């Protein structure tokens, strides 16, 4: 292969890789919700949970199998708001959770005593 063809192919591949982000539409993308809140489990209809955010908002996750936290657990979660979805859950914002974990406040301290056994 001649060197000009190799350079041309390399440039085309490089431009196609870097231009991929420019071609996607981010204006219509739902913003990522990053929030803390408390799990509320409701035993109706085979059970479902919702998250009452520390900001007062109520979130209804559409991916219910994404968590196994007990009722009352304080969690941090990241989610995307779902629009135009039919949900039979009570009032709240429908979301799809992308990350969830138990929330430990930054000022929370734990003492651990280590002992050496001989």
Would you say the C-alpha torsion 77, 59, 39, 105 has a positive or negative sign?
Answer: positive
Q: What is the pLDDT of residue 24?
A: 43
Pairing of strands 93-102, 58-61: parallel
Q: Tokens 């431009």 identify what position?
A: 15
Q: In sequence order, what are the beta bridge partners of 38?
A: 52, 74
Higher pLDDT, 65 or 67: 65
Whether 103 contacts 69, CB under 8 Å: no
Please determine, for residue 23, whether its predicted confidence score (pLDDT) is greater than 60: no
- For residue 115 the two structure tokens come to 């002992």
3-state secondary structure of 113: coil
Q: Where are the domains of the chain?
A: 32-102
Q: What fold, for 32-102?
A: OB fold (Dihydrolipoamide Acetyltransferase, E2P) (2.40.50)
Q: Is the pLDDT of residue 90 over 50?
A: yes
User: For the residues 10-32, what does the mean pLDDT come to?
Assistant: 61
The length of the chain is 118
Mean pLDDT computed over 96-115: 77
């Amino acid at each position: 292969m001649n060197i000009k063809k190799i350079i041309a192919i390399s440039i085309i591949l490089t431009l196609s890789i870097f231009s991929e982000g420019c071609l996607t539409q981010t204006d219509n993308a739902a913003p990522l919700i990053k929030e803390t809140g408390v799990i509320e489990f409701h035993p109706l209809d085979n059970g479902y949970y919702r998250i009452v955010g520390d900001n007062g908002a109520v979130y209804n996750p559409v991916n219910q199998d994404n968590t196994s936290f007990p009722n009352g657990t304080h969690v941090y979660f990241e989610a995307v708001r779902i629009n135009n979805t039919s949900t039979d859950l009570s009032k709240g914002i429908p979301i799809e959770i992308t990350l969830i974990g138990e929330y430990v406040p930054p000022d929370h301290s734990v003492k651990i005593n280590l002992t050496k056994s001989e």
